[in-house]
Amino acid sequence: MKSCNQMAVIWGISERRVTEFCKEGMIPGAVKVGKRWQIPDDAKRPADKRIVTGRYH
C-alpha cells in the first residue's frame, strides 16, 4: 500500500488530486486509515473526468 503522496509522484499529478480520486471512489481498493488514504501498489491512475474544454453545456 502506498500513500497519496507516493502515488502522486508515480502518476505525475498533485497529492490533492489523488486525494480527490480517493474521496470520489475512483481508485478501487483505496482505504482511509485514520486521516490518510492508503492505495494499493498496483492501482491504475483513473481517468480525469473534469471539463477541459471550458464548455459547460
Q: Model confidence over 13-56: pLDDT tens digits?
A: 999 999 999 999 999 999 999 999 999 999 999 987 777 777 76
**33 domain-assigned:** yes
Q: Helices (DSSP H) in 1-57: which residue ranges?
A: 4-11, 15-23
Task: Please give the helix or strand (H or E) that residue 31 lies within, else none.
Answer: strand 31-33
Q: Looking at residue 56, what is its pLDDT?
A: 66
53 vs 57, which has greater pLDDT?
53
How many domains are there within the chain?
Answer: 1
pTM over 0.85: no
**54 domain-assigned:** no
**48 domain-assigned:** no
**17 domain-assigned:** yes
List the domain range (segments joined by +) for residue 31. Answer: 2-39
